Amino acid sequence: CLKRGCERLAGLGCRCRGYLLYDVNPPEGFNLRRDVYIRVASLLKTLLKSEAWVLVLPPWGRLYHWQSPDIHQVRIPWSEFFDLPSLNKNIPVIEYEQFLEESGGPFIDQVYVLQSYAEGWKEGTWEEKIDERPCIDQLMYSKDKHEYYRGWFWGYEETRGLNVSCLSVQGSASIIAPVLLKNTSARSVMLDRAENLLHDHYGGRDYWNTRRSMVFAKHLRVVGDEFRRKYLHSTDEADRTDYNEDWTQMKVKLGTAVGGPYLGVHLRRKDFIWGHREDVPSLHGAVKKIRSLMEKHKLKRVFIATDAIVEETEELKKLLPEMVRFEPTWEELELYKDGGIAIIDQWICAHARYFTGTSVSTFSFRIHEEREILGFDPKTTYNRFCGEKERNCEQPTHWKIVY
């Protein structure tokens, strides 16, 4: 059994485990990709009910928001940003480098490009369905001289796909399971454009188990905690945000966390200024709201996470001298990379006495979830800036963790 690269599983006999890989539309950002991981994890759980599978974590790199110059940000393993043992307490996962070692070479047996139905969805009864169809868009793969498929493959230029085909999908992630279990003999399968899959049970137990297992890498949490202590007078003991390294043992009641004596803010700028102009305030409007919240909650410091350009951050400093930001040195940026700096920002915002974010931003969404996990009162968490012309400034809806 072992000689064939397989393993003997209780009740299942000698089985070769399958490798599930996936990728996301290149323009999608770091925090949307974290959400897609939750969807794919749900699919893996469905597969594990019948066969032995492992999820191969797609290396990070070349994301739109990671624009720091002269820093190599390709082929980044998940362990740079997340705690792998924590992920493995939810589903079996391995890094891509381990997949290369185990599978015997840089080959993926089958690549399925997920797409919508060409005819679209007609109003009426919702129907989950999946069909192998001709590819709607031009494939981002090309054949080499050996008839293997070349593609992006997370920056691993030597990787090849043996077969590529398109699947039209309409439904939740686990709709793919029958295809992987019955319709293919491929040992390694990659789902490209996995963002086309929906959540199996959004906000349910499986969702939260996967989300809670996405524990930030400890070295990033340590940096964030030290910054809180040094510049924001914030510690877990004083803030009642004691953290259990084992997420399966961390069960808190909402409202038990107090948070550090500062306001946490995520102020999205750049493409949101024109892409969501109705939801984003001007800098002066944002400062006015921040000052109002600081006065209301009797806070003397505000921590701001923002993607604002240099000119805007300088303007913020003038308008808001109480502002504190995590501004990494060159060495820190090179070590933690843009993704790590974003996590440090989120971690600090997650521990604030009160948080307000940016409408429809997945960066803010992830902070909402983190604060929920830490036990903050939803009233201090689910808040956002409003566009200055908004008549009805609806605030985010909160949900409850299901243990």
Q: What is the CATH number of the domain that holds 360?
A: 3.40.50.11350
Q: What is the pLDDT of residue 137?
A: 94
Model confidence over 361-387: pLDDT tens digits? 999 999 999 999 999 999 999 999 988
The average confidence (pLDDT) of the chain is 92
The answer as to whether 70 is a domain residue is yes
Instruction: Answer whether residue 7 is part of any domain.
Output: no
Query: Buried b vs exposed e over 58-85: b needs ≥16 C-beta within 10 Å?
Result: bbbbebeebeeeeeebebbebebbbbbe
Higher pLDDT, 149 or 122: 149
Other CB atoms closer than 10 Å to residue 309's CB: what's the count?
11
Flag whether pLDDT at 1 surpasses 50: no
Taking the C-alpha atoms of residue 402 and residue 251, their distance in angstroms, rounded to an integer, is: 10
- The CATH code of the domain that includes 168 is 3.40.50.11340
pLDDT, residue 43, reads 98
Which of the following is catalytic: 7, 28, 123, 237?
28
Same domain for 144 and 272, yes or no, is: no
Our count of domains for the chain comes to 2
Instruction: Answer yes or no: do 172 and 90 share one domain.
Output: yes
Q: What is the pLDDT of residue 164?
A: 97
pLDDT digits (tens, 9 = 90+) for 6-63: 665 555 555 678 999 999 999 999 999 999 999 999 999 999 999 999 999 999 998 8
Q: Is residue 12 part of a domain?
A: no
Active site residue 119: no
- Mark whether 200 and 255 lie in a shared domain: no
**Pair 32, 165 in one domain:** yes
> What value does the mean pLDDT take over residues 240-255?
94
For residues 105 and 166, state if they share a domain. Answer: yes
199 with 220, same domain: the answer is: no
* Domain of 24, in residue numbers: 18-205
Q: Does residue 266 fall inside a structural domain?
A: yes
pLDDT band of 86, cuts 50, 70, 90 = very high
**What DSSP string describes 208-252?**
HHHHHH-PBPHHHHHHHHHHHHHHH---HHHHT----SSGGG---
282 domain residue, yes or no = yes
pLDDT of residue 14: 54
398 occurs within a structural domain: no
In contact, 168 and 130? CB cutoff 8 Å: yes
Is residue 66 domain-shared with residue 121, that is, in the same domain? yes
Copy the structure tokens of residue 150.
């070349």
Taking the C-alpha atoms of 353, 206, 223 and 69 in order, what is their torsion angle to the nearest 10 degrees?
-110
Paired sense of beta strands 302-306 and 93-95, if any: unpaired
Model pLDDT, residue 67: 83
Mean pLDDT, residues 149-172: 97
Q: Tell me: do 271 and 345 sit in the same domain.
A: yes
107 and 230 belong to one structural domain: no
Which pLDDT score, from 0 to 100, does residue 393 have? 81
The residue type of 157 is E
Same domain, 188 and 238: no
Average pLDDT over residues 221-242: 97
- Flag whether 400 is in a domain: no
Statement: residue 274 has pLDDT above 80: no
Q: What is the pLDDT of residues 186-224, one digit of tens each?
A: 999 999 999 999 999 999 999 999 999 999 999 999 999
